[in-house]
Structure formats: structure tokens, C-alpha cells
Chains A and B, each alone.
Chain A
């Protein structure tokens, strides 16, 4: 493990006060990762797609504020948090998910057997299955641009952001930057760095001027490493997980009848 200690783990601070909702990140991600699209409709809001999916590794959620009298509009970036000790990796029976020493949680297509334990294990509901593919469907999620990081390039979404919403660096430096911003701007931010402790700590962290629970962040995630919990649950595999996976598979088969491309119903189920 000496190599792990020598390679600094990268981290990102998402400063939500800086996001203007231009969605350059959403496009840059698709461009770098060569992702396609799923047919969407306007559902009475700007957010689209409604959730992360196998073609959308990151997106901006537009959240209107009903917080007091003054109108508010929040733009929240959503992507894999890249946990320090990821539940998806520990749940994977074949080791398809791996936490790299420099930060990204990556996925090995060759190893995946399609069991989708990762999807159940992830506390942030990030990994998504290619339901639309009949042959060799894979699990998809944000890669933290591990291929770019390996070449000393910054991740695509961060590179393209016009307002420097994301601060990228060694995780220690990122935490220090977050703490500095909280200290230097009294009253501007809520006193919390989301992801510093959650799920045992994540590579991606957030600061915000609005309480995180009002922005839909899951505040029930404990500060301890999740794999311990994951294993407690996965001991019951035959009962819970296999049952869940079977249900999901049946839904997929049912849906893939005909042209297998009914995008609208797909959204509903994913929601």
C-alpha cells in the first residue's frame, strides 16, 4: 500500500454559490465520454434528464426555492461522489469497481457480470444500467475522467465551467480550501462540507449557502465507511438482492418488447 500513500488522492469542491446553471459541464461530459442521449420531454422544468442515466454521468438539477418570500433558484451539480471507500466496489462480487489511489472509482467492463449489486449498494444512487441494450449491457457512471487525470488533465466538466464552480486538487488541499471559504466568508455558507465525512468521506465535496437538506442532499448518510453496512445487507443476498435484481430484469425484459425504445416510460420507472 505504499504506492497509495505516495499518490495524492484527488478531490473536487463544488461551490454551489458559483453555479449559474449553464450546463456546459453536462455537455463537456458527454463530449469527452462520447455519450449519447435519451429522448426527453419538457416536464415543466429546466432539469433534463430527470435523473442520471447510462448516457448522462453528470447533470445540473434546477431547484426552485420556496424558501421564504424571496424567489430563489438553485443549480445543483450531480455526479458520482467517488467515495474514499466505495460501497459499490465492496458490493461487487467480481471486483469490477475499483477505487484508484488517485481518487476515481472506476469500472471494468470486462469483469462485470451484470448483477447490479453496485446499484443497490450506492448510497447516492449513482451507477446506472444500460437498460436499453440487449447484448452486454454495462453499468455506467461518472469516471472522474480517470483517463484525463492519468494524463495530468483536469476533468472535462471542471475544465469547461465558466464560473469556476469546481475547485480541483489534492483532496487535502480541497478540504482546506473549503474550510478557508467557510472561514473567510462568515454568513455566506452553511457550516458544512458535504462529503468531507459523509459515507466515510468522498472525493467530491460540496459547500452551499442553503442548507443541504433543502437542496435534496441525503442527510441520513452516516459518517462511517459504508462497506461495513453493505456487507451486513449483502449477507442476505438470496432474499433481498437476488429478488430485487430479478424484478429489475423482468421490468427490462417487459419494456424491451417491441422496439425497446420507449424512452418516456423509462424515465418514469427510473424516477
Chain B
């Protein structure tokens, strides 16, 4: 999230699209209802199905799964056509005025493609997606926004095709509903009106997932809602600590703090830094990533300690490297596993046999392993895959080990919520039986692997043997028996390894003493004199006047701004900033656009405690201490963007600088109504038999989507074993409209089969007025929905059913490879004896 949960209370309009907070984030509804009751805020819900959240909404608009871009593209057109955008914000804080390469062409001209497409590689050459530079290397601009090559004009041209008639016929949303939503949301384009957007997997799990979110960021920039209290783009995270695990480098393509995983062609630290350090000549741009060298070097110092020296490139060679162009994300891993490319697999805190798209393929892939280690609270469909449906245990050679782990209440540590608040938690009870905290399991694994390398050598022992591992008391053999998570947290925060000085000051000013915990990432160095396991977490466990403070354990309840920032409650990354891009909430003179919701404001008289000069920001921690933009030393607000402005034009993505509508891999239409390009041209198409997809095929005529209910969590491993929860939601179900049920002679409560090109499962039919058929391009399209919490293993009598992911396809987003579980095609079939 750019903002945080409590901040929803500050909004005037709340757009819930791609999420269902009443079911899946119930506590967040407290703040949404507060905004509605106390500020008269309006709640808009856009969803294929009338959800529990929709039940509380002022406006509900139905929309066919997978058509968010046309829905929102139509809104962009509405905002531009009616001049409802926040002009000063757009001109000064976004790249609207920047001139683009005149050779750039969009899908309107190239039939659904952007310039530079290569059909063979299914990739774009982004040469033409560039900005025009002046003689000083600064992007050329036209602040009048009239130049035909400026981003604003290109944006206008691109979305001119998204007419309300076209949008309505693609999405199935009635025109008057579209207009109602557009009008209401666009009302936040005024300085004193703010809108927020809440999304979740309903936006990400599409082949166009990243672009769904991009479309909304364009709207938020046009309306001046980024950086504002009550604004922003807010991802409601689906797991309690998924934000934390992503921050700490869970994904294959990042180390910690969103530093890119190096690839093989980046042979040394210098070439890594060169590739990942953006450069700009824009004088007022902070270009924060110009600090990359400090963060990667401090990271290497944290993991390799004294063994990382300037002479050995700080141990850069020991980091694992990706092959050039290699994508080691989820779908590819299991694709490779099915091809027999892996011997072993740690299923750590996960249940891919149910959670993975195209679960049949995943289950078959597991059978190709020699061994699997299942680290979980319970045995699950993954650990027991060899005795699951369709498996003959005799044919499966995979040896499975179950390592029982401690649950969240059986261990101490930190947890990062969706709003980036990192909160310290304490152990309530000791782990049950022989179960261990994950950190202790990792510690055991480390010690044994290290010992093997020491005894037997190996191809490349250095990355393991050179690791620092100062996580607790070591015995005579050098083994730690219990990991002290405070040591881990301190390593993540980082240390001054020498006395570190600010050399730009005269005389040089001491920033931190050798051996102390770092105070802020601003102090990190590229010369090996600081360590930091994760630069964005620097300051989370710090030292002030010699005293060590775990900032994450703070529980101060003060709220000086009255906006619910609670700056002394836990700690938020980065540097305790509660609303990121908050410099965009003030005008170039530092005055809040909306004084009633001042996130920060410039006080020209107040003395800055650091510089001892008059003039400082008050309120939230600003995005950098520079004075207001209009002043001589002022800076542009979007400090993470190379040129300092919000990106209406975003050349960084794989599938286009502007979001364009493409249908899902499986869809009910033969043609994309906007162009000749039916599906996202840059997605990877998997070729295995198990990857079959069927678009516009009579065998699978209905659009399907998956979702969650309040009572279960993810694949249900933690909730299906809980009788109180299972009593409320005992069985797999499929929701469908009364119209579809009538067509198929299906009765409410009847057991039916749901089939896709990849699998099938039984489900109880919930026939409901909450689903309605869509009118798409003149014909009727039905949609159904299924939860994905069930699995064959538990309840043991099989009464729960199996995973909805037996149906979902193996295909991912062009940028992130997240599977497309939110739009695919199925059939629903009556079965004999289905009526109980």
C-alpha cells in the first residue's frame, strides 16, 4: 500500500475493485464504514459478483472478469474529455508534459500492438518507448500539454478508443452504471476531494494484472490522489506477512529491499551497480535509486561480514545468479519440475497441490521429485500428494519428509502488514511437540549443509561457508541451538562497521560510531563501512544515544496529525513514513492541497533540528528532507522515479507504456472488441499437454473466477482443521445466476460438476441473484465463481471437495508471472444424484 488501513477513514470516495474487504479483510471495513458515516464518503464496488462488500456500497457495478482495463480506460477517457483532472498536479508532478519519441506508436495505430513488437520472441523492443531529450539530456516538456507527442496527448489518443459504448459491450456493465461510477470517482479530481482504491488478487491474478494496477495509478495521478491522506493505491495483502516476506526477498527476482537478483552476465559488482543505478539529468529529481551501490554493498557486508572486502568485490561472486533472461517464477518452476529438472523441493509453509494454478499439473510434477520436504503445521495435500486422487502410490518414488513448524503464536518476530507497518510480536506459547520456528529449521539446515561442505568440499562451497550466521550462542562445534530473532532483526537493520562520517560536511560530521546499529539508510555507504540486510528496514531496530531501540515494538498511541498516522505505533518502512509520495500532497510551495487533511506541510520558520536552519516539514516523515519544490533546493515529489514525476507513461513494463485491453487467455469471445490482438501479446504460452486452454469453445462456455470466503484461509490447511470454521463453510461450492441455473435445470444446493480444459471437481450449486448474466457484444455471457479453500485430504470423509485450482490455467501475467486464476472458462454439468 502507498497508504495504510486506518487511512481509509480519510477518503471521500472508496473504490473497491479487485478485492472484497468485507469477506477477506473484515477489519478494514471498520475504517471504510467510518469514512462513510463520519465524512459521508461514498463506497463503490465493481465486481463480477455482488459481494459482502457490495452489500454495503453506495454504488455497485457488475463487470465481467478480466475487463478491468476497459472499465478504467473508459474512466480515463471520461476524466480527460470532461476536464476533470487536477491540472496543476498533472502538469507539475507527472510526466504528462514530457515529449515521447515521435516514432512511438500505439495500439490504435498498430491494431492492438505498441511499436517494437517481435512476434518470434513475443517481446517488445522498447526503443521507441523513450522520451525526447534536450541538449542537456533533460526530457523535453510542453507544459501547455498541447504537443501531439506529449504524454498527455498520447494518453488522450490511446483512451479515445475506450468509448462508453465499447466499454459497456466489453465489460457487460450497463452504460448508466459506468457513468455513475465515472462521475462519482472523477469528483475526487479537486484539491479538497480524495479517492482511494483497494485491490487484491482480483486485479493481480490476470495475464494483464500489472497493467490493471497501472491503469488505476494513471487515474490516481490524473485526479491528484497520490500522496494524499485518504488516497493512494492500496493492495490488500492476502497473507498476514506476505508484505514482509516480499520485502525480505521471497521472490526469485529480488534480493531484499527490492534489489534485483543479479544475472550471470553481470560479472562483477560494478556492472551490477551500473545496470541497476538509473541516471537522470533532471535537476530537481532526487532519483533515489542512485543510491543503489550503497544498498547492495551494505547487503553483501551483512551476509558475508568480514569476508566481504573491497578486494573480493564484497563477495558479489558468491551471490546466486540467474541465467540471462531466466524466469524462475512459480509456473516455470513446476513446469520444469514436471519435466524432471529437479530432484528435490522444499514446500515451506505452502500447499502447492491446492494453491497452484492447474493443480493437476502441479500434483503430477511433484511425482517427478526424488524427495520433498514439507514444512507445515499439518500434513496437507502436498505432503500426501502420492496418495491423492488419480495417484497410484506404487508408481510414486518421491520420498516425503514432514517438518512440523511453529505457528505464528509460538514464536517471536516481526510482521509487516499491508500498510508497511512492521510490528513486533511476542511468543504466546511454546511450540507444540517437536515443532520448531522456521528460523530454527533454517538454522539446522544451514549447519548441516555447511558441515557437509566442510567435510566433503563441493563445487562451490564459498556462498555457504562465507555466510555470517551470528544469530545466537554457538556451542563448541559452532552450532547455534536456538536462533535469537533479535539478532536477525538487528542484522536486517544494519550496523556501522567503522566510525562513519558525512564527508560532505565541513568538518566531516560523525553519523554513527563503529559497532552501533544504523540510524537510517541515508547513512549507508558503498565502501563497506556499513552493513544492512535490507535497506528499507534500516531504522527498524536502531540505536539512539547508545540506547538500543526495537522500533517495531513501539506502542505509542499519539496521533498528532489527527489523520490516524500513529507515528509511534510500531514502525513503517521506509523511515517510518506512513504515506509514501507524501510530497505530492502539497503544492510546490509546500502548502497542503487540502489543509484539512495535511499529511505534511512546510513550516518556513521552525528550525530544522538537523541543519539548525529555519524551515522544516511537519506532519508525516516527508519523502526526503528537501525544501518545497518551488524553492531553489526544492525537489520533485516522486523520489523513486528516475525523473521525479509520476509515470502516466510507463515504459518499464513488458506489455506497453499504456495499459491496453487484452482478453484473458481463456475468454468467451473470438475477438477482442478493441483490436485484432485477442490476448496479451507478451505472455508466455506453455506448451505441455497439461497446459491446454480453450477459448470461445462450446465445451467450456462460462467465465469462471476464484475467490475466498471469510471462514477459510488460502488452501484451507489452517482452517479446514478448525471445526468452528468448517461448520460455517463446510463444502466446495459454485455460485451462479438464477438465469444460468434455469438454463441448466440446476437447483439450489444441488451437487454439480465444474469442468475446465484441465480438470474437474464437484461443487454445491449456490444459485443466487448476486450473479447476473452479462450482455457482452450483444450476446449473453454467464459467469460463475468458486472458492479455492478445499482439498481432498481434509475433512477425511471427503465431504469438503477439492481445490478450484484443478480448473485454472497455467499462464501468468506478462510482468510478474502471477497465474491467471481470476478469469478462465468452465462448464457446469448436472450429475445424476446431484440433488440431495
Tell whether, in the assembled complex, residue A23 and residue B711 are in contact, meaning their CB atoms are under 8 Å apart.
yes
Q: Which one of A27, A36, A71, A162 contacts B770 once the chains associate, using CB atoms below 8 Å? A: A71
Tell whether, in the assembled complex, residue A43 and residue B728 are in contact, meaning their CB atoms are under 8 Å apart.
no
Interface string of B42-61 (1 = CB under 8 A from A): 00000000101111100010
What is the total of A-B residue contacts with beta carbons within 8 Å? 109
A66 contact set on B, CB distance < 8 A: 769
Interface string of A227-263 (1 = CB under 8 A from B): 0000000000000000000000000000000000000
Query: Which B-chain residue is minimally distant from A24 (CB atoms)?
Result: B26
Q: Which one of B56, B723, B747, B766 contacts A42 once the chains associate, using CB atoms below 8 Å? A: B766
Q: Which of B303-311, B445-453, B729-737 has 4 or more CB atoms under 8 Å from chain A?
A: B729-737
Q: Is A271 an interface residue (CB 8 A)?
A: no
Contact size range, B = 35 or more
A164 contact set on B, CB distance < 8 A: 30, 33
Given contacts A20-B55, A21-B710, A23-B710, is CB(A42)–CB(B730) below 8 Å? Answer: yes
Query: Which A-chain residue is minimally distant from B741 (CB atoms)?
Result: A44
A interface residues, how many (CB within 8 angstroms): 36
Tell whether, in the assembled complex, residue A37 and residue B30 are in contact, meaning their CB atoms are under 8 Å apart.
no
B52 contact set on A, CB distance < 8 A: 20-22, 73, 75
CB distance from A140 to the nearest CB of B (A): 16
Interface string of A164-177 (1 = CB under 8 A from B): 10000000000000
Q: Is B675 an interface residue (CB 8 A)?
A: no
- Among B23, B56, B728, B730, find the residue whose CB has the most chain A CB atoms closer than 10 A: B728
Interface string of A75-88 (1 = CB under 8 A from B): 10000000000000
Q: Is B549 an interface residue (CB 8 A)?
A: no
Tell whether, in the assembled complex, residue B26 and residue A162 are in contact, meaning their CB atoms are under 8 Å apart.
yes
- The secondary structure that dominates the A interface is loop
Tell whether, in the assembled complex, residue A44 and residue B30 are in contact, meaning their CB atoms are under 8 Å apart.
no
Q: Is B22 an interface residue (CB 8 A)?
A: yes
Tell whether, in the assembled complex, residue A22 and residue B710 are in contact, meaning their CB atoms are under 8 Å apart.
yes
Tell whether, in the assembled complex, residue A45 and residue B766 are in contact, meaning their CB atoms are under 8 Å apart.
yes
Q: Is B799 an interface residue (CB 8 A)?
A: yes
A70-B61 Cα distance, complex, nearest whole Å: 10
Tell whether, in the assembled complex, residue A22 and residue B55 are in contact, meaning their CB atoms are under 8 Å apart.
no
A27-B769 Cα distance, complex, nearest whole Å: 27
Q: Is A99 an interface residue (CB 8 A)?
A: no
A163 contact set on B, CB distance < 8 A: 26, 29-30, 33
Query: Which A-chain residue is minimally distant from B750 (CB atoms)?
Result: A44
A64-B54 Cα distance, complex, nearest whole Å: 12
Tell whether, in the assembled complex, residue B728 and residue A36 are in contact, meaning their CB atoms are under 8 Å apart.
no
A98 contact set on B, CB distance < 8 A: none
A40-B795 Cα distance, complex, nearest whole Å: 12
B731 contact set on A, CB distance < 8 A: 41-42
Interface string of B228-270 (1 = CB under 8 A from A): 0000000000000000000000000000000000000000000
Tell whether, in the assembled complex, residue B55 and residue A44 are in contact, meaning their CB atoms are under 8 Å apart.
no
B22 contact set on A, CB distance < 8 A: 20-22
Q: Which one of A41, A42, A73, A74 contacts B54 once the chains associate, using CB atoms below 8 Å? A: A73
Query: Which B-chain residue is minimally distant from A18 (CB atoms)?
Result: B33
A18 contact set on B, CB distance < 8 A: 33
- Among A24, A26, A37, A42, find the residue whose CB has the most chain B CB atoms closer than 10 A: A42
A31-B724 Cα distance, complex, nearest whole Å: 9
Given contacts A49-B727, A74-B55, is CB(A22)–CB(B26) below 8 Å? Answer: yes
8 Å CB interface, B24-75 against A:
26-27, 29-30, 33, 50, 52-56, 60
Tell whether, in the assembled complex, residue A48 and residue B730 are in contact, meaning their CB atoms are under 8 Å apart.
yes
B733 contact set on A, CB distance < 8 A: 42
Q: Is B764 an interface residue (CB 8 A)?
A: yes
Q: Is B765 an interface residue (CB 8 A)?
A: yes
B764 contact set on A, CB distance < 8 A: 41-44
B770 contact set on A, CB distance < 8 A: 64, 71, 73
Tell whether, in the assembled complex, residue A162 and residue B727 are in contact, meaning their CB atoms are under 8 Å apart.
no
Tell whether, in the assembled complex, residue A75 and residue B727 are in contact, meaning their CB atoms are under 8 Å apart.
no
A266 contact set on B, CB distance < 8 A: none
Given contacts A48-B730, A72-B55, A162-B29, is CB(A37)–CB(B769) below 8 Å? Answer: no
Q: Which one of A24, A30, A31, A71 contacts B769 once the chains associate, using CB atoms below 8 Å? A: A71
8 Å CB interface, A34-62 against B:
36-46, 48-49, 56
Tell whether, in the assembled complex, residue A44 and residue B727 are in contact, meaning their CB atoms are under 8 Å apart.
no
Q: Which one of B55, B60, B729, B767 contacts A75 once the chains associate, using CB atoms below 8 Å? A: B55
B768 contact set on A, CB distance < 8 A: 64
Interface string of A109-143 (1 = CB under 8 A from B): 00000000000000000000000000000000000
A236-B836 Cα distance, complex, nearest whole Å: 40
Query: Which A-chain residue is minimally distant from B771 (CB atoms)?
Result: A71
A24-B747 Cα distance, complex, nearest whole Å: 30
B750 contact set on A, CB distance < 8 A: 44
A219-B53 Cα distance, complex, nearest whole Å: 29
Q: Is B388 an interface residue (CB 8 A)?
A: no
A48-B749 Cα distance, complex, nearest whole Å: 13
CB distance from B45 to the nearest CB of A (A): 11
Tell whether, in the assembled complex, residue A27 and residue B730 are in contact, meaning their CB atoms are under 8 Å apart.
no
Tell whether, in the assembled complex, residue B749 and residue A42 are in contact, meaning their CB atoms are under 8 Å apart.
yes
Tell whether, in the assembled complex, residue A23 and residue B728 are in contact, meaning their CB atoms are under 8 Å apart.
yes
CB distance from A64 to the nearest CB of B (A): 6
Given contacts A42-B749, A71-B60, A75-B55, is CB(A30)–CB(B724) below 8 Å? Answer: yes
CB distance from B477 to the nearest CB of A (A): 45
B53 contact set on A, CB distance < 8 A: 20
Q: Is B725 an interface residue (CB 8 A)?
A: yes
A42 contact set on B, CB distance < 8 A: 729-733, 749, 764, 766
8 Å CB interface, B740-757 against A:
747-750
Q: Is B726 an interface residue (CB 8 A)?
A: yes
Given contacts A23-B711, A75-B55, is CB(A44)–CB(B769) below 8 Å? Answer: no
Query: Which A-chain residue is minimally distant from B795 (CB atoms)?
Result: A39
CB distance from B53 to the nearest CB of A (A): 7
A74-B709 Cα distance, complex, nearest whole Å: 16
A56 contact set on B, CB distance < 8 A: 727
Query: Which B-chain residue is minimally distant from A62 (CB atoms)?
Result: B52
B727 contact set on A, CB distance < 8 A: 37-40, 48-49, 56
CB distance from B553 to the nearest CB of A (A): 24
A36 contact set on B, CB distance < 8 A: 723
Interface string of B758-797 (1 = CB under 8 A from A): 0000001111111010000000000000000000000000
A162-B5 Cα distance, complex, nearest whole Å: 13
CB distance from B60 to the nearest CB of A (A): 7
Q: Which one of A45, A72, A162 contacts B27 once the chains associate, using CB atoms below 8 Å? A: A162
8 Å CB interface, A1-30 against B:
18, 20-24, 26-27, 30
8 Å CB interface, B264-302 against A:
none
Q: Which one of A37, A70, A71 contacts B726 once the chains associate, using CB atoms below 8 Å? A: A37
Tell whether, in the assembled complex, residue B23 and residue A22 are in contact, meaning their CB atoms are under 8 Å apart.
yes
Report 7 cross-chain contacts, Cβ distance below 8 Å, ordered by A residue.
A21-B52, A22-B22, A37-B724, A41-B731, A56-B727, A73-B50, A162-B30
What are the nearest 4 A-B pairs in CB distance?
A44-B749, A44-B748, A22-B26, A20-B22
Beyond A21-B710, A42-B764, A73-B770, 12 extra complex contacts between A and B, CB < 8 Å:
A20-B55, A22-B26, A22-B52, A37-B723, A38-B727, A41-B764, A42-B729, A43-B748, A64-B770, A71-B50, A73-B54, A162-B27
Which B residues lie at the A interface, using CB under 8 A?
22-23, 26-27, 29-30, 33, 50, 52-56, 60, 709-711, 723-733, 747-750, 764-770, 772, 799, 836
